[in-house]
Amino acid sequence: MNKKLNIDNLEAVSFFNGLVFFAPVALLVRTRAGVSLDRFFILQAILSVTIFLGEIPTGKITDVVGYKNAIVLSQVMLLIARSMLLAAFLLKNYYIFITEAIIEGIATYFTSGTVSAYLYQKYDEGEYPVKSARVGNYGTAGFITSTIMYAGIYHFYEVEGLLILTVVMNVIAVVVSIGIEKETEQIDTELSVASKESCSILSKFFILKINAENIIIMITLACISISFILINFFYVDKLDILGISEEWMTAIILGYSVFQMAAEKVLDTIGERNYFKAFVIGFIISGMCMLLFGRINITPVIIPIMLILPLIVSVPAYIFDEMENKVIDNSHLEDKRAEALSAYNMGVNLVEVLFLFVSAFVAELGISACFTVLGVLMILLAGVHSRRIIQI
């Protein structure tokens, strides 16, 4: 199998998906349309529930139709979701926001694990985290570009202009995704036969065994996912607590996006031999930053944390992505990789749903409580991982 195939179109799709012009005011898109903070958490929970319910069926579909076709389908659904978000904002209709969350969930679960499986199939062990970071960097580059353009667009065309331009970029992403090179067909080897035998003894709709290893994987992935939810939506809330104008959010986003792009270089420098140690240390530092962010309101401390936290979370996240795929290999499930990754993400979404519903009910305590709880959990998980519970 040629693992050096050109993935330029995938990188381009990542770039156009990163062009989310309304990102600096993503929370305001909802609140200015009359959505309260507790309802916002419920919307995020609905998104996670939708992904949870669709993970396994779509994982099975992806393994049948192929990774490339699933990526194209996810781009089409994301385009519909973005269009619904525009309609919801213009009409100030909460039920359209709910519909948008459901459609975005459909787009997400067709992407869930698919890009990871696509890249893992094409790149050698050890190369995968670096290549995955490279594709992610194109998304970050798009995000930086849209953030730079945000102020001017917002000044002249307000939120409507930001949403419309984002929809246009999604149209281009759909077109570009069609040109992604199709993955090589899996050969039915003895390992694949072992996989089928392994699957036959498992539930038809849940390919993974329920054991400590898989539960820890799901909780770890959920922590990473929730970290970025809090970063993407609630940095602006922290600025308000510090008495800093929300206009500075653009500078913060640009700053942390530039730092985050260093993930590829950091992983390359660390080297495959040191990945596990780097993952554990990275998770501990991430947890400590979350704790500090949640507990103190000292501007000279919080601003640097805002700038480096996405990078600190991203490095162990890319490493853990490869660890997750190795567990799938060791379980002889490589010919059902998308389904297995979807099964993991199903557990992730369950944890997210619980976290978001609890957050909705304790919204009056403020977002700081969410960062604090997540920080403690990440530090505890790092301790669990240091005992090498996951066999790779």
Q: Note whether residue 190 is domain-resident.
A: no
Higher pLDDT, 255 or 232: 255
pLDDT for 255 equals 92
The backbone torsions φ and ψ at residue 4, rounded to the nearest 5 degrees and listed phi first, read -105, 25
- Distance between CA atoms of residues 114 and 97, nearest Å: 26
pLDDT, tens digit, for every residue of 272-288? 889 999 999 999 999 99
Structure tokens belonging to residue 338: 């998308």
What are the DSSP calls for 123-134, one per residue?
Answer: S-TTTHHHHHHH
Whole-number Å distance between alpha carbons of 114 and 338: 6
Domain count, the chain: 1
**Does position 384 have pLDDT exceeding 60, yes or no?**
yes
- At residue 211, the pLDDT reads 83
Report residue 43's pLDDT band, with 50, 70 and 90 as the boundaries.
very high
Give the pLDDT score at 162.
95
Burial class (CB within 10 angstroms; exposed 0-12, middle 13-18, buried 19+) of 164: middle
The C-alpha atoms of residue 202 and residue 212 are separated, in whole angstroms, by 16
pLDDT at residue 203, as a whole number: 45
pLDDT band at 359 (very low <50, low <70, confident <90, very high): confident
Dmax over Cα atoms in the chain, in whole Å? Answer: 63
Q: List the one residue out of 305, 316, 295, 291 whose CA is nearest residue 377.
A: 291
Which residues are within 8 A (CB) of 335 and not within 5 positions of it... i.e. 6 or more apart?
Answer: 63, 186, 188, 191, 192, 195, 196
Mean pLDDT of 362-387: 85
194 or 242, higher pLDDT: 242
Choice between 202 and 134, residue whose per-residue pLDDT is larger = 134
pLDDT mean over 65-76: 91
CA–CA dist 64, 70 (Å, integer):
10
347 pLDDT band (50/70/90 cuts)?
Answer: confident
Asked which of 12-16, 31-35, 38-42, 388-392 is least confident by mean pLDDT, the reply is 388-392
Residue 103 has what pLDDT?
95
pLDDT, one tens digit per residue, over 187-240 is: 444 334 334 433 443 443 467 777 888 889 999 999 999 999 899 888 888 888
Asked whether residue 238 is domain-assigned, the answer is yes
> How far from the centroid of its chain's Cα atoms is residue 12's Cα?
18
Q: Answer yes or no: is 392 within a domain.
A: no
Please indicate whether residue 298 or residue 264 has the higher confidence score (pLDDT): 298
Apex 235 CA angle, 232 and 238, nearest 5: 160
Q: Which of 37-46, 181-190, 365-374 has the highest average model confidence (pLDDT)?
A: 37-46
Q: Which residue has the higher pLDDT, 207 or 166?
A: 166
For 85-97, the pLDDT digits (tens) are 999 999 999 999 9
Check residue 182 and give its pLDDT.
Answer: 85
Q: With 60 as the cut, is the pLDDT of residue 2 above it?
A: no
346 vs 86, higher pLDDT: 86
pLDDT at 318: 92
Task: Report whether pLDDT(389) > 80.
Answer: no
pLDDT tens, position by position, 96-132? 999 999 999 989 877 766 888 888 887 776 677 888 8
pLDDT confidence band for 154 (50 / 70 / 90): confident
Tokens of 168: 């246009």
Residues 325 and 126 sit within 8 Å (Cβ to Cβ)? no
What was the pLDDT predicted at 206? 60
Residue 1 counted as domain residue: no
Convert the pLDDT of each residue in 289-302 to its tens digit: 999 999 999 999 99
The answer as to whether 189 is a domain residue is: no
pLDDT in the model for residue 208: 75
Instruction: Decide if 185 is inside a domain.
Output: no
Domain that holds residue 292: 8-178+195-385
pLDDT over 70, % of the chain: 88
- Output the pLDDT for position 125: 66
CATH number at residue 333: 1.20.1250.20
Domain assignment present for 285: yes
Whether 144 is in a domain gets the answer yes
What is the secondary structure of 316-328 as a DSSP string? HHHHHHHHHHHHH
